[in-house]
Structure 1
Amino acid sequence: MNRRKTTRVAARLYLIAGVAVIALLCNANAWAADPSTADPATTTTTTTTKHHHHMATTTTTTVVANTSEQQRLDALSGQVGNLQKQTDDTTSEVKKIEAAMTVAVPATAGAKPATIGEHVGLVEKDVSDIKKDLSDNLGISVHALVDAGYEHNFNQPINNINAIRVFDEDGFQLNQGNLHIERDGTVGFVTDLNFGQVANTISAATRYSNVAGVGNQWFDPTQYYLTYTAPIGSGISFQAGRFVTLLGAETINTYNNLNYNESKSIIFGFGIPFTHTGIRASYTFNDYVAFTGGLNNGWDDPATANNGGPNYEGELTVNNKDKTLSLALNGIWGPNLVGPTGLGKSDSNLGAVDPVATWKPSFIPNLTLQTEYLYASESGPVVNGHAATWQGLAQYLVYDINPSLESATRAEFFDDEDGARTGTAQTLWEITQTLSYKIPEVTGLLARLEYRHDNSSQNYFFNNNSLYTNGVFTGQHLWHGQDTLDANFIYAF
């Protein structure tokens, strides 16, 4: 009996000890969940439930956002909403600008244009209507171009003069305005009227016909000649009047030939003539061979109207069927100076040969390679009583990156060994890189960016350093080279 009581007492003591241990553990959980040390955004609640014969403990954790955190979340949400609204507004404005720049005539006939695009579209339509009327009623086509921009010469030359350049100068400039009018048919004509730097240069270097040189001016009737197609074979095309030379890889810009580079080569400016006055005949034998021959009064500015006889010019063109490979062999020869007697019988004959080869390799699409070589000489007396010779070589590498963007690189050397063309016996070279971009929004609008470096074996290029002797201006300091950067817009139709 006493043993049983002892056992019961021991069991009760064990039970009491167990309850005490459980209570201590519950208190430890409560201390761990003390609000002063817990995450301010969470709340932990412990509930102890007493059942018959045992006790159960339940712990519940409730997440409650802190007031300051909720405010920050609300503010951030508002900022995101504002940003989205601003993005939507910007997208809407961009669409409005794009719509305003889209070239199109007003939707309603007779309505006034309300956007820039509608103004341009209406002008294009008016010009197109005039051209159509002239073409339909008179068979006359009218085209034009304007070339304007800004060029910076890093030498900063006095008077903005770019040495060995013919159509450009330092600063803002109107390079060229051109009006091209022609009539096709059995009997027709071609007229090219130029304005700006192009006209200024050509008028100073050439004669309109046989009359005296006209000097510097901002207008020049560069071409004006009659055409007649004789019904012989495939048709012999005759020209009579003033026309640009057959020589050269480059020519004076027209609406359908803007050349690869913005600036002109040294060969174009100093190695060959600009224009001639005379007659020509052209005949295409087949898909592979064509020939042009003519007689004229000589190079740009013959010394007299009677210079001892005509000059002879010719061009033989040979190409393959698809014209990916072609060779144009150009030449001219004839008297160009008055002899010592002054009777008009020339003692000097001037001749030049200027082959131009063009290759468009099929294995590199959109690539054009063109090479020009010039050799020219003039019998004496030209320089110090003796003859003169000059020659040049130009290489063009042209790549159409895409239908709108073209890269054109020109490398060239020019040897004026007697100084007959540039006024100084020297060897010149230049390299030019041009990027041309067709503005997609406006048909016929072209943007050009060009860098060019010129170099000479002599100190030949101007800069802004003046030379003085005893306080008197005696000239400019000259350098071996010059660098220019040119940005231009050309609009042609």
Structure 2
Amino acid sequence: MKLSKLAFAAAIAWGIYTSNASAQTYGQQPQVRQVAATNDYFYQPEASPSDRPPPAPMVEQAPMAAAAAPAACDACAEEEEATCDPWRLFCQKECGWNITGFVNAGYTYNFHNPPSTFNGPVTFNDRDSGQFNQLYLVAEKAIDRETCCWNWGGRVDLLYGSDYIFTQSLGWETTPTGGAKWNTNPNYGLAIPQLYAEVGNENNSIKLGHFYTVLGYEVVPANGNFFYSHAYTMQYGEPFTHWGMLGSYKWSDEVSLNYGIVNGWDALDRVQNDPGFIAGFTWTGCEDVLAFNVIYGNEPRFDNTAVYTDRYTHSLVYTRNISEDWQYIFQHDYGRQVAGGLGGAENAEWYGINQYLFYTINDCWKWGFRGEWFRDDDGVRVTGVRPNNPLAGSTFAGNFYELTTGLNYSPTANLTVRGEVRYDWFNGIPAGGALALPYDDGTRTDQTTFGIDLIYLF
């Protein structure tokens, strides 16, 4: 049965390829690149310029028109290159509010056939089956970053699908203690990961409300990532979203500064509301981008969510455009929480290194590789996130490793098919003479998975 499912998934992938192989060439596709703390890996002309650091050498995203004539607000934006721009369901205007979106669904095959169908602590594509991951809608009025005059904008993001559970915030999608509000189905639900107003000009951007974090490399929206699966660092080492204020100041053509005051990690309202502080910078060179960001504040302990202690986390992401076709990314994260270990007996630490290598084969095909080491020093970070996962609440002190390689196929500007093979293994620290195992429902130290999904922009 398992082999037949794998053969069926492979047949779907081959059918997509053969049905599009003879499609008309639509022009040069965007180069493989992603700047730290953005979600525009695939072409997204609607993305807010304030969500990006100063342009890198391989930026493919079309900027919003500056100082457009008032009449342009009432008409569809004229396409500069119809062969490259994705088709949009809603008319895209030069100014005012625009609506865009995408759908993302995929299939994951676990070669070890876990009885629960869960892929251990691997998240997003966490099931050994097909999943409808994201129906993602964005309504945005982008601010004009080309003028010295202050102007305003805003953004609302809606995510429906199996990925909703990974991006909820306390007191918003859930109660302050983590109980369900409108999402009572553990497999599918609705999240609202962004809801903010924004003011700014050519040197400033200030967001007020609910927004994605600036820490890390991988992001929640599926069209912001090369791979279907995610790194342990992204899921367990960093926050996803914040509520509060986040500012960006353009210090020079090469350097922009980040600053913010937020209600900690992924929380609007929680048992103890304390300010958390964000600070960092992004430096953009000729072929390099370096981003470093820190968040510090009181956060709940893993084993007692009513007890809050100091937590410090930083993330460094370095991007190097080696050539027109090759790109390398290095990421290092470190986190520490005072008295955050199990029982509060000692401080807790987690840290790791991610490395990515991407190669643009041609206009339609791209190859990628990710290698990761993530250490959960005290067994307080990595666990099963979805409540019906048999690993939910489990602890695994030790080292997690994963190697992932795969291809992206983009026959049109709207459609991308992602395929990957991933190998995970765990080198643990025995507790009380026993070693908890994270894979195949707690029976293995390693696992191999194959994943394939598609993203369609509209």
**Do these two structures clear the TM 0.5 threshold for a shared fold by scoring above it?**
yes
Alpha-carbon offset, residue 102 of structure 1: 7.6
* Counterpart AA for 1:166: T
Select which of 270, 275, 280 maps to 2:246: 280
Q: Deviation of residue 477 (structure 1)?
A: 5.2
- Aligned partner of 1:437 in structure 2 is 409
* Superposition map of 1:82-481 within 5 A: 127=88, 130-132=90-92, 135=93, 139-168=96-125, 169-185=127-143, 186-203=151-168, 206-208=170-172, 211-212=175-176, 213=178, 215=180, 216=186, 217-229=188-200, 234-253=202-221, 257-301=223-267, 304-307=270-273, 309-320=274-285, 322=286, 324-337=287-300, 348-361=309-322, 364-385=323-344, 386-422=346-382, 423-439=395-411, 442-458=412-428, 460-463=437-440, 476=441, 478-481=443-446
Aligned residue for 2:116, secondary structure, equals helix
Instruction: Report the CA distance between 1:314 and its aligned residue.
Output: 1.8
CA distance in 2, matches of 1:167, 1:207: 22
- 2:311 alignment partner AA: L
Q: Is this contact kept in 1: 2:171–2:270, CA < 8 A? A: no
Instruction: Considering Cα pairs closer than 8 Å and 6+ residues apart, tell me whether 1 or 2 has the greater RCO.
Output: 2
Higher Rg of the two aligned structures: 1
1:165-189 deviation per Cα after TM superposition (whole angstroms, max 9, x unaligned): 2211211111211101101241211
Residue in 2 that maps onto 1:485: 450
> Could you tell me whether the CA contact under 8 Å between 2:283 and 2:289 is conserved in 1?
yes
Give the conservation status (yes or no) of the 8 Å contact 1:428–1:455. Answer: yes
Give the Cα separation in 2 of the matches to 1:288 and 1:455.
Answer: 40
CA contact (8 A) 2:121 2:439 kept: no
Distance 1:443 1:260, change over 3 A: closer
1:192 partner letter: D
Q: Any conservation in 2 of the 1:373–1:394 contact (CA below 8 Å)? A: yes
Root-mean-square deviation over aligned CA pairs: 3.0
Whichever residue aligns with residue 102 of structure 2, its letter is L
TM-score between the two structures when normalised by the length of structure 1: 0.65
Distance 1:367 1:139 in 2: 37
Q: Residue 161 of structure 1: CA displacement?
A: 0.8
What's the CA shift string for 1:330-383, capped at 9, x where partnerless? Answer: 111011138xxx9x9x7510111111101012xx43110000001100001542
CA distance in 1, matches of 2:409, 2:340: 48
User: Quick one: which amino acid aligns to residue 273 of structure 1?
Assistant: P
One-letter identity of the residue aligned with 1:390: W
Aligned partners of 2:283 and 2:373: how far apart in 1? 26
Name the SS of the counterpart of 1:199 in structure 2: helix
The answer for unaligned runs of 5 or more in structure 1 is 1-96, 105-120, 464-475
Q: 1:415-438: per-residue Cα shift (whole Å, max 9, x none)?
A: 001001022112110000020010
Instruction: Answer whether contact 1:262 1:434 (CA < 8 A) is retained.
Output: no
Contact 1:419 1:426 in 2 (8 A): yes
Q: Distance in 2 between matches of 1:275 and 1:162?
A: 24
Instruction: Write the distance in 2 (CA, Å) between the matches of 1:394 and 1:207.
Output: 32
* Shift in alpha-carbon separation, 1:207–1:261, aligned structure 2, 3 A: farther
- The offset of 1:211, in angstroms, is 4.9
Q: State the distance in 2 between where 1:167 and 1:222 align.
A: 15
Higher helix content, 1 or 2: 1
Q: Percent identity?
A: 27
Query: How high is the TM-score relative to the length of structure 2?
Result: 0.69
